[in-house]
Structure 1
Amino acid sequence: MAVEKGIGFIGGGQMAEALIKGLISAGFVSKEKVIASDPAVGRRDHLAKTYGVRATDSNKEVVSSSDIIVLAVKPQVISRVLEEINEYVTMDHLVLSIAAGIPLRLLQDGLPRDTRVVRVMPNTPALVGYGSAALSPGSFAREEDIMLARDIMGAVGIVVVLPEHLMDAVTGLSGSGPAYVFAFIEGLIDAGVREGLSRPVAAELVLQTVIGSAVMCKETGRHPSELASMVTSPGGTTIDGLYMLEKGAFKGLLMDAVRAAVRRSMELGGHT
């Protein structure tokens, strides 16, 4: 469902671009209703030329031109940005923050009292319409704000609503998760090359294997271990490969990677 509201992005990086592309492609908002700010002229030119949106170096202009404001800046600069836009934000604005690790408390304290805020943790597959996002509403967010935030993020993937204390876990899992998956894909491709396959052939086989496996998990609803057992014959090739993964603590390493990212998210939010 398309909206007539103006959507403004403060910060024009990769995640903002993913949302801009996804929202316009899904027909959720027209490009004329989108504005983005970024200090880098290269990013502004790229967004304007690629998606036909208005791009500016003024965060004030974004706020004054928008009904919905998406804070898409690095967590390290969020306090400065909030201070800069504070006097221009009104009760008519809905503010969505996708700044990793930044809690609702800090967002609400940095904006006028009663500002409607929703904290969101998306991920970059939103760029191709397969994003995963979690959102947590602030104290003054209304039910319709939550629904609107769900519609915005739902235009580029799936959405879950969670209590805020779980948002750091989401950041470490699905927020950082694509990087883990890309590293896994790269490793499999390199393994194919090591065994004599050309890189293009290895890449084609690996990508389809990963996509097909993920679709099997989602569409069958069966446990991953049950699906793995379907290709694990007694004394066969797969069990030898799985043994090496277990010997190297593969799943343990993944769990540690997620925990490390969760802890960093907590640090960025000022709580450990």
Structure 2
Amino acid sequence: MPFMPIIQGRWDWNLSLRGNNGMKTGIIGFGNMGKALAHGLASAGIKPKICEVVTEKALEATLQGFTICSVDEIASLSDILVIAVKPQELPKLLDSLGKHTAGKGIVSIAAGKKISLFEKRLGTSNVARFMPNLAASLAMSAVAVSYGEKAEESFRNDALAIARAVGTAFEIPEKLMSAFTGLSGSGIAYVFSFINALAMGGVEAGIKYDDALAIALATTEGAVAVLRSQKVHPSEMVSRVASPGGTTIEGIHVLEDAGFNASVMKAVIAAARKAELLENDWK
């Protein structure tokens, strides 16, 4: 069975996190993803505590209304810990956390680190692994969610609710995490590249860049809206736009001559393979 998006909106996920029953969540790391998750949770009335060792980031979190805790404090006080630090920072952190985390829920956003590492080092089977992308800052990220095999159902629901704080959650087996990285984690950059190229084409055709970019963005947003509303294959929509002997088919011909589809596919696969290599290097 193909994996499916868990949610398209955010209206109900507050209840999923058992916020009304006192579920306490802590976030270690207040970088881009940690910050996005903190604000996403806070917007639903579940304000996490934050652990951040970088003075400037800790001050930023404080000024934004979050409580700063030490590693020991946040590990002791939280039912679920979100680990949002760089992979190279993990060894020392896991050494500090181990004495507090037996049986607790752990959510990792550390790239390339497998679930089994956290299960072994932190003494818990309730572990989830996320892969969001840059759009998390606007709560519009696609978020891959994988669990340990023995994770409890209640924890799985809580992990999904946390993922929904920054966008749309997709449950996938961990073996597909590298593929998801190529498609979404890195793929958002390919979308940026396409939009810029579309705007630059407008410039070459005589439109000022700022105007061309606004038109490209509106065109992209419209294309996504059409696909979502009509639920048809993208290739069918291409056929509907491309009339015989018209302007669109002329442009499609150029894209195909340049290997557009193949190039995008190769980019996804290249990023996925690189992610897999890095994951194996960081075991």
- TM-score using structure 2 length: 0.85
Contact 1:18 1:124 (8 Å CA) reproduced: no
2:180 matched to which residue of 1? 170
Say yes or no: does 1:183 pair with 2:193: yes
In 2 relative to 1, CA 265–107 (structure 1 residues): closer, same or farther, beyond 3 Å? farther
Distance 2:196 2:63 in 1: 31
2:101 matched to which residue of 1? 89
Contact 1:98 1:120 (8 Å CA) reproduced: yes
Say yes or no: does 1:15 pair with 2:33: yes
1:261 matched to which residue of 2? 271
Distance 1:244 1:48 in 2: 53
Contact 1:122 1:132 (8 Å CA) reproduced: yes
Kindly report the root-mean-square deviation, in angstroms, between the aligned alpha carbons of the 2 structures.
2.0
Q: Which moved more, 1:163-172 or 1:39-48?
A: 39-48
Distance 1:230 1:77 in 2: 51
Say yes or no: does 1:44 pair with 2:54: no
- TM-score using structure 1 length: 0.88
Amino acid at match of 1:12: F
In 2 relative to 1, CA 261–28 (structure 1 residues): closer, same or farther, beyond 3 Å? farther
1:104 matched to which residue of 2? 115
Amino acid at match of 2:214: E
Say yes or no: does 1:76 pair with 2:92: no
Instruction: For 1:233-252, list aligned pairs within 5 A.
Output: 233-252=243-262
Contact 2:195 2:217 (8 Å CA) reproduced: yes
Q: Which moved more, 1:10-19 or 1:81-90?
A: 81-90
Distance 2:63 2:261 in 1: 43
Say yes or no: does 1:127 pair with 2:140: no
1:78 deviates by 2.5
Distance 1:101 1:219 in 2: 35
Contact 2:145 2:163 (8 Å CA) reproduced: no
1:101 deviates by 2.1
Distance 1:257 1:166 in 2: 16
* Equivalent position SS for 1:261: helix
1:159 matched to which residue of 2? 169
1 or 2 for the larger relative contact order (CA 8 Å, sep ≥6)? 2
In 2 relative to 1, CA 192–55 (structure 1 residues): closer, same or farther, beyond 3 Å? farther
**Runs of 4+ in structure 1 over 4 Å off:** none
2:6 matched to which residue of 1? none
Distance 1:55 1:245 in 2: 52
Deviation per CA, 1:209-240, whole angstroms, max 9, x where unpaired? 11111111122110001111121112221112
1:191 deviates by 2.3
* Equivalent position SS for 1:54: coil
Amino acid at match of 1:233: S
1:115 deviates by 4.0
Amino acid at match of 1:10: I
1:246 deviates by 1.3
In 2 relative to 1, CA 117–235 (structure 1 residues): closer, same or farther, beyond 3 Å? same
Structure 2 residues without counterparts, runs of 5 or longer: 1-13
2:10 matched to which residue of 1? none
Identity %: 37
